[in-house]
Amino acid sequence: MTPVSPLLVGVHGWLLAGRLWHPLRQELAPRWTLWCPDLPGFGASDRPRGLQASLASYGRWLAEAVQREAAGRPVVLLGHSLGGSVALHAAPLLGGQLRGLVQIAAGGGVFQPRPFARVRRGGAAFVRWRPAWLARLPGTGAIRSPLLADDRAARGLLACSTNRGAVRQLPRLAAALTVPSLWIAGSRDQVMEPRYVRHLAGYSPDHQLAILSGVGHLPMVETPRELAALIDAWLEDDLALPAQPSGPQSVASPFSCSSASCA
């Protein structure tokens, strides 16, 4: 039986939408299929009335949505920032269908009361006072999701992701991973500093860590080709997953080149 290429699933972060992944999706095609849904309440996706705005609830939603979309195919989750926490919650619910986890600018696991309180206040103020009318102007598609994201989803996920219990749960979720994981940080990321990515990655049993030099919080937008090469090599060389048959030959592994510093 011919091995089946996995479905890659991009999980965006707070206030963002699936369009965040489009530059990376273009670079990964046609070797890999990247599905990048809008989480409920963000982008073009409405939040169902019964869906609680918590990491656990969104993790369950994601696992169910992935199982429907994958239709039996193996799955690799790609989480960005807060989306990485959602991916960690979804991972155990996918069972043997999950083959790997890529965490981009996703770290933490250390509760910091004062900084987190400032983040909650600042985030809540933005959600309350954001100029939603800007989304009606032409050429504002890139900022449409932050301006129009569901108020309850935005506030709830921000509060949940910065409370003591949720933060301290992340290391346990990382330690419980049963699949290989690749953790990627930008050396100039001011939102999720590399040290926090390294800290959380250290709890996962079978992981690799890559630091992208000169890159900030959005490597899928800043350097999608470099990021695609890193992920491509990890999927094929380390996970031994088959690319789609129509794709070109594999790129050289960036784990041995100067574009990324790995540990």
Q: What is the mean pLDDT of residues 97-108?
A: 97
CA neighbor of 20 nearest in space, from 224, 197, 187, 159: 224
Question: Whole-angstrom Cα distance, residue 261 to residue 255?
Answer: 8
**Model pLDDT for residues 113-163, shown as the tens digit of each residue:** 787 888 888 888 888 888 887 878 887 777 788 888 999 999 999 999 999
What domains sit in the chain, N to C, each tagged with a CATH number? Answer: 7-238 (3.40.50.1820)
Cα distance from N-terminal residue to C-terminal residue, the chain: 36
CB contact at 8 A, 76 and 241: yes
In the chain, % helix, strand, coil (3-state, to 5) comes to 50, 15, 40
**Model pLDDT for residues 160-203, shown as the tens digit of each residue:** 999 999 999 999 999 999 999 999 999 999 999 999 999 999 99
CB contact at 8 A, 161 and 73: no
Give the orientation angle of helix 151-161 with respect to helix 82-90, to 10 degrees.
80
Strand partners, 79: 11, 103
